[in-house]
Every structure is written in structure tokens, then in C-alpha cells.
């Protein structure tokens, strides 16, 4: 046989319409029903959680860290970072916030939360905020995490 005849045979066997025995509509409907039902229940349960409970859950995640020391700082980003070129101000501000907290909390490892990062980058790379109020939390291992200050 030639190559063309082999290809014709392959396509002919590959494109066989399903027979009645292979495609049982009753079985498909049962499997579809079984897979759709749990997905609907998950959506309903996620909608029933109020927004306030989600906020409390996020705050409880922060508090799971065994807190040794907690301080609130107002960091003058303008004094630290506005002397640099426009295209480098926010990266410099992030480094300065990290250094400021490390110096005042006497820590070597400082991580900045996503909320603080978004606050610094909110107006673009050229215009960081003039000052930012943060809450620094130090755990028993000496790691410091910087969060936005609680407003009460």
C-alpha cells in the first residue's frame, strides 16, 4: 500500500460516528447531573459568607503570628525618596520603608504586605505618597511584617 492509502484508512477508522451502544444518553445525563450538583452547592456556600466575616478572617490570619512587638510608624517617604530621579522614586521608597522599619524594629528580615505595596505604587512610579502610616509586627523569630495602620 502507498502512504496515501494508509492515511485514508487511518482517517476512516478515526471518524466513526458513535453507535447507540457506545453513547448512552441516560449515562451521560447522570454523570453530568452528578458533576453539576456539587459545583452549584459550592457557589451557594461562597455567596452566603458576608463580607465582614471575610475581613475578620484576613485579620485573624495576620494575628496567627505570635506577636512579640507591634509598633505604628508614620514614615516620611518624601524626605527619603523624593531626591531621586522620577523613574526610580517608588522602588526607592519601598527600599526606604523596609530600611526604616528594620532600623526602628531592630530586625534584619522585613517583609511588606501587599496593601502597603499597593499604597506606594498607587499613583505610579513617579509619585509615591509623601508619607505613609504603617503597623509593624515582629514575631518571636525576629521577622517583621509591615501592614497598613488600623484606623479605629
Cell of 40: 452549584
Computed on alpha carbons and rounded to an integer, the radius of gyration of the chain in Å comes to 29
Counting beta carbons within 10 angstroms of the beta carbon of residue 128, is it exposed (0 to 12), middle (13 to 18) or buried (19 or more)? buried
Q: pLDDT value at position 14?
A: 53
Task: Give the model confidence (pLDDT) of 81-123 as tens digits.
Answer: 678 888 999 999 999 999 999 999 999 999 999 999 999 999 9
**Residue reference for cell 508619607:** 131
Instruction: Residue 107: name the closest of 145, 69, 65, 143 by CA.
Output: 143
Domain-embedded: residue 39:
no
pTM for the full model? Answer: 0.57
Flag whether 143 is in a domain: yes
Q: Is residue 50 part of a domain?
A: no
Domain-embedded: residue 35:
no
pLDDT recorded at residue 43: 42
pLDDT value of residue 69: 92
Q: Which CATH number covers residue 97?
A: 3.10.440.10
Print the domain residue range for 63.
59-148
**Residue 48 belongs to some domain of the structure:** no
Low-confidence ranges of the chain (pLDDT < 50): 28-49, 52, 55
- Residue 29: per-residue pLDDT: 47
Q: Residue 49: inside a domain, yes or no?
A: no
Number of structural domains (the chain) is 1
Residues 6+ apart with CB under 8 A from 92: 80, 81, 84
- Residue 18 is predicted with a pLDDT of 59
| Alpha carbons 15 and 9: distance in angstroms, whole number | 10
Amino acid at each position: 500500500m502507498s502512504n496515501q492509502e494508509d492515511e485514508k484508512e487511518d482517517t476512516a477508522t478515526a471518524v466513526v460516528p458513535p453507535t447507540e451502544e457506545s453513547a448512552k444518553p441516560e449515562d451521560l445525563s447522570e454523570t453530568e447531573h452528578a458533576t453539576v450538583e456539587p459545583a452549584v452547592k459550592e457557589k451557594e456556600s461562597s455567596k452566603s459568607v458576608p463580607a465582614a466575616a471575610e475581613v475578620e478572617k484576613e485579620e485573624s490570619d495576620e494575628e496567627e503570628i505570635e506577636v512579640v512587638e507591634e509598633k505604628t510608624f508614620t514614615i516620611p517617604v518624601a524626605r527619603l525618596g523624593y531626591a531621586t530621579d522620577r523613574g526610580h522614586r517608588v522602588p526607592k521608597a519601598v527600599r526606604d520603608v523596609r530600611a526604616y522599619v528594620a532600623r526602628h524594629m531592630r530586625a534584619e528580615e522585613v517583609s511588606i504586605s501587599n496593601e502597603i505595596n499597593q499604597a506606594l505604587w498607587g499613583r505610579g512610579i513617579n509619585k509615591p505618597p509623601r508619607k505613609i502610616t504603617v503597623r509593624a509586627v515582629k514575631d518571636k523569630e525576629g521577622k517583621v511584617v509591615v501592614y497598613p495602620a488600623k484606623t479605629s
